[in-house]
């Protein structure tokens, strides 16, 4: 009779209690795994949104000081045409780079074609051809798109379009200050209407071709370069490599990753990670207490049996090992049941076509669960280890009891 | 005569029912108890369970320790079975001083040389009859096919050849006690301790169990020490010791 089999038979002795314990462990794990799966899906969506939707790419290269003083002295911190060309060549020569995309930020006033209404805008200018590469797997229509070849084609956010009564194909007049502070205005044509996904920007955001923005600002300079890598996992190492290459070429730059630039991603991730840790703590406590309670009751009920085993030659470590094995079985079966339940419920949720409007969002997103097996394995291991730890105290109590005392227990 | 016996150590008793094989080293005591004292707390009071017990148990004996409830029978048996320790006095088992043995050595000696039969059978309910019998060996390590054959043989000997794979809850009290007897003998112990083995059995089963034990005692070359106040089983004993208030009052009945 192997101790594993003996422990399993002991678990089966009080089926109802064991089932309640297993169910508690399984239910806790299902909740935790599904929530973990949901946040993994959310992180993936936010990552895609940040890299492709917010057009942040993987890395962004600024002249050092641009982020602090760029608004005050734009000319000083922008790359001129020669620098832009050299920098692009250096970055592309590093390898593993899919796209080097020059950018300009711009703001001003957008006016309706009849001139009767106007509203402030903030915009981002980029090469239209870059957008198709940057969008990657982003779904059609999300984040707006520019039309290659249309140098004055502008993508306008939904609420701004509503505000100024724009339709696709309409002319849009953009007024802004040139880089030297002169007023300037240019007409463009609306080629796309899009939802920014953020209620705070959906009534003022637009995208425009880089040449259009440069003409409006009356400059050939660009503000920054967005780098899209072949492999997102190399983001940090590429940052280091590119920083070194550019420094040796005489550029004084700072390079930011997409995580650093997407404050929304950081905030959501921080919040979800905290909630996950909180829920995980509760689940772990419930699992540990359930198992400790079961083992404690078992120890009391089987005191005389422990005395018999001790009298027949089982040592104190053997007693602890027996009850710890029973706790391990309860946790393992609970974990396995939790895994089955997680997979089943994840399938149901992913096929139920559920959606919701996230806070501060202007459109619905699908509620999906991505099973993160690394996280699930880690959580399962923690539950099993906690179960073993929870069994130690009652097991030690049983082991320490005198044989005669245990045998006399009624 | 009775008064004289009361004053004398139990060793002085004459073996009235000395149906013991002379080859079994009758003259060599395997257990010597000298001036044993044992007390324990019961609530706020202290109970003197044993008060200077002297007893010599010789190889091959079938010794009964009789006495009313609370006389110290179980305490004495627990000490002889190395389940408990005296507060004072000395005990020698198989020539070794108890006070000189480590707790590990005592546990090893107990599991290898002493078999136990409990009043309530104390079988493990999740184990079949043969698994219960093999348990003492399995607690010491892996069992061999020879061990399993011996366990089956013991179960056959105690009349349970058809209950080898049956769980205790499917057995009668008599059958359970017979499984417990087979379990006690599987390690080929030199000493068999039985604490009121017939207390939970009816007359028929009590007699059957005692006849079986008497038969096995001679077949298996084992010394048996019983505690009992069941007079039905005393006829099987080679010696009877009476205990009252923690003292031996009568060495031979």
Domains of chain B: 28-250 (3.40.50.300)
Cross-chain Cβ contact A13/B125 below 8 Å: yes
pLDDT grade, residue B253 (50/70/90)? very low
Same-domain check for residues A26 and A126? no
Confirm or reject contact between B105 and chain A (CB < 8 A): no
Cross-chain Cβ contact B136/A313 below 8 Å: yes
Above pLDDT 90, what percent of chain B? 45
Same-domain check for residues A69 and A208? yes
Q: How many residues can be counted in chain B?
A: 253
| Partner residue facing B107 (CB), from A1, A304, A313 | A313
pLDDT grade, residue B220 (50/70/90)? confident
C-alpha to C-alpha distance for A229 and A57, rounded to whole angstroms: 8
DSSP A52: I
If one counts the domains in chain A, the total is 2
> What pTM was computed for the model?
0.75
Window 176-235 of B, Cβ < 8 Å to A: 183
**Minimal Cα–Cα distance from A312 to chain B, Å?**
5
Q: How many residues can be counted in chain A?
A: 410
Q: From the CB of residue A353, how many other CB atoms can be counted at a distance below 10 Å?
A: 8
Cross-chain Cβ contact B78/A404 below 8 Å: yes
Classify A24 as helix, strand or coil.
helix
C-alpha to C-alpha distance for A107 and A175, rounded to whole angstroms: 8
> Using CA of residue B73, residue B79, residue B84, residue B88, what is the dihedral sign?
positive
Considering only residues A137 and A132, tell me which one the structure prediction assigns the higher pLDDT: A132
Residue in chain B closest to A2 (alpha carbons) equals B138
A177-192 average pLDDT score: 91
pLDDT in tens, B123-156: 999 999 999 999 999 988 888 999 999 999 999 9
pLDDT in tens, A5-25: 889 999 998 899 999 999 999
Classify B253 as helix, strand or coil.
coil
* Tokens at A54, concatenated: 């917010």
Same-domain check for residues A198 and A180? yes
Interface residue ranges in chain A relative to chain B, Cβ cutoff 8 Å: 1, 6, 9-10, 12-13, 304-305, 307-309, 311-315, 318, 402-404, 407
Domain of residue A25, residue span: 3-49+265-407
Last residue of a domain, one of A261, A278, A311: A261
Same-domain check for residues A217 and A94? yes
Confirm or reject contact between B42 and chain A (CB < 8 A): no
Range among A43-52, A76-85, A190-199 rated most confident: A76-85
The ipTM (two decimal places) reads 0.83
Same-domain check for residues A190 and A296? no
Last residue of a domain, one of A241, A261, A281: A261
Same-domain check for residues A87 and A154? yes
Confirm or reject contact between B84 and chain A (CB < 8 A): yes
Residue in chain B closest to A318 (alpha carbons) equals B139
Q: Write down the pLDDT at residue A70.
A: 82
Q: Write down the pLDDT at residue A165.
A: 87
From A112-116, B114-118, B198-202, the region with the lowest mean pLDDT: A112-116
Considering only CB atoms, which chain A residues are within 8 Å of B139? 309, 312-314, 318
What phi and psi, each to the nearest 5 degrees, are found at residue A329? -65, -45
Considering only CB atoms, which chain B residues are within 8 Å of A315? 107
**Minimal Cα–Cα distance from B122 to chain A, Å?**
6
Q: Write down the pLDDT at residue B207.
A: 83
Q: Write down the pLDDT at residue A86.
A: 95
C-alpha to C-alpha distance for A193 and B14, rounded to whole angstroms: 115
**Minimal Cα–Cα distance from B121 to chain A, Å?**
10
Residue pair B113/B189 in contact by the 8 Å Cβ criterion: yes
- Cβ-Cβ contacts under 8 Å between A and B: the total is 52
pLDDT in tens, A74-108: 888 999 999 999 999 999 999 899 999 999 999 99
Distances (CA, A) of B61 to B77, B119, B207: 15, 20, 19
Same-domain check for residues A75 and A167? yes
CA dihedral B204, B184, B224, B117 (to 10 degrees): -60
Same-domain check for residues A80 and A32? no
Same-domain check for residues A252 and A392? no
Last residue of a domain, one of A220, A240, A261: A261
**Minimal Cα–Cα distance from A314 to chain B, Å?**
6
Same-domain check for residues A254 and A113? yes
- The string over A247-272, giving b where at least 16 C-beta atoms fall within 10 Å of a residue's C-beta and e elsewhere, is eeeebebebbbbbebbeebeebbeeb
Same-domain check for residues A21 and A66? no
Same-domain check for residues A100 and A180? yes
């Amino acid at each position: 009779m192997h101790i594993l089999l003996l422990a399993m038979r002991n678990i089966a002795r009080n089926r109802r209690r064991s089932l309640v314990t297993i169910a508690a462990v399984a239910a806790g794990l299902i909740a935790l795994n599904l929530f973990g799966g949901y946040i993994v899906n959310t992180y993936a969506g936010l990552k895609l949104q940040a890299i492709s939707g917010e057009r942040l790419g993987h890395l962004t290269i600024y002249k050092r000081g641009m982020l602090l003083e760029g608004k005050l002295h734009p000319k000083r911190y922008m790359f001129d045409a020669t620098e832009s060309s050299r920098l692009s060549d250096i970055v592309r020569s590093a390898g593993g780079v899919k796209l080097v995309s020059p950018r300009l930020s711009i703001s001003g006033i957008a006016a309706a074609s009849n001139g009767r209404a106007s509203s402030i805008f903030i915009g981002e200018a980029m090469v239209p051809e870059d957008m198709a590469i940057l969008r990657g797997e982003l779904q059609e229509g999300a984040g707006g798109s520019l039309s290659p070849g249309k140098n004055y084609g502008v993508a306008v956010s939904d609420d701004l379009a509503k505000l100024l009564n724009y339709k696709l194909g309409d002319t849009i007049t953009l007024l802004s200050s040139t880089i030297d502070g002169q007023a300037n205005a240019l007409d463009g044509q609306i080629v796309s209407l899009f939802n920014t996904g953020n209620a705070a920007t959906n009534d003022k955001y637009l995208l425009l071709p880089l040449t259009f923005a440069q003409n409006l600002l009356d400059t050939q300079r660009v503000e920054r370069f967005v780098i899209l890598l072949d492999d997102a996992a190399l983001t940090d190492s590429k940052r280091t490599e590119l920083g070194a290459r550019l420094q040796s070429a005489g550029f004084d730059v700072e390079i930011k990753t997409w995580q650093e630039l997407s404050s929304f991603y950081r905030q959501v991730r921080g919040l979800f990670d905290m909630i996950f840790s909180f829920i995980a703590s509760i689940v772990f406590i419930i699992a540990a207490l359930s198992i400790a309670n079961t083992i404690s009751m078992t120890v009391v009920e089987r005191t005389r049996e422990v005395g018999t085993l001790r009298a027949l030659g089982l040592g104190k470590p053997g007693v602890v090992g027996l009850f710890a094995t029973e706790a391990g079985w309860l946790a393992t079966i609970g974990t396995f049941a939790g895994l089955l339940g997680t997979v089943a419920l994840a399938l149901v949720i992913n096929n139920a076509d559920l959606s919701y409007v996230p806070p501060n969002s202007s459109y619905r997103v699908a509620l999906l669960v991505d099973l993160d097996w690394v996280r699930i394995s880690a959580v399962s291991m923690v539950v099993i280890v906690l179960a073993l730890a929870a069994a130690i105290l009652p097991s030690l109590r049983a082991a320490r009891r005198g044989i005669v005392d245990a045998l006399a227990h009624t | 005569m009775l008064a004289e016996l009361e004053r004398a150590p139990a060793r002085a008793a004459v073996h009235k029912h000395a149906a013991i094989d002379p080859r079994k080293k009758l003259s060599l005591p395997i257990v010597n108890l000298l001036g044993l004292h044992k007390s324990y707390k019961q609530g706020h009071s202290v109970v003197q369970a044993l008060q200077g017990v002297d007893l010599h148990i010789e190889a091959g004996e079938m010794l009964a320790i009789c006495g009313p409830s609370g006389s110290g029978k179980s305490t004495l048996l627990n000490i002889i079975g190395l389940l408990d320790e005296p507060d004072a006095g000395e005990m020698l088992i198989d020539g070794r001083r108890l006070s000189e043995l480590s707790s590990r050595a005592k546990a090893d000696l107990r599991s290898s040389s002493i078999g136990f039969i409990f009043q309530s059978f104390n079988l493990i309910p999740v184990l079949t009859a043969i698994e219960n019998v093999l348990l003492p060996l399995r607690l010491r390590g892996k069992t061999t096919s020879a061990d399993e054959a011996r366990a089956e043989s013991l179960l056959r000997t105690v009349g349970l050849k058809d209950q080898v794979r049956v769980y205790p809850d499917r057995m009668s009290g008599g059958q359970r006690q017979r499984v417990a007897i087979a379990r006690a003998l599987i390690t080929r112990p030199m000493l068999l301790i039985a604490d009121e083995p017939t207390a939970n059995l009816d007359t028929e089963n009590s007699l059957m169990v005692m006849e079986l034990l008497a038969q096995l005692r001679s077949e298996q070359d084992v010394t048996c020490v019983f505690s009992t106040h069941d007079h039905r089983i005393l006829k099987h004993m080679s010696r009877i010791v009476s205990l009252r208030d923690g003292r031996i009052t009568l060495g031979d009945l």
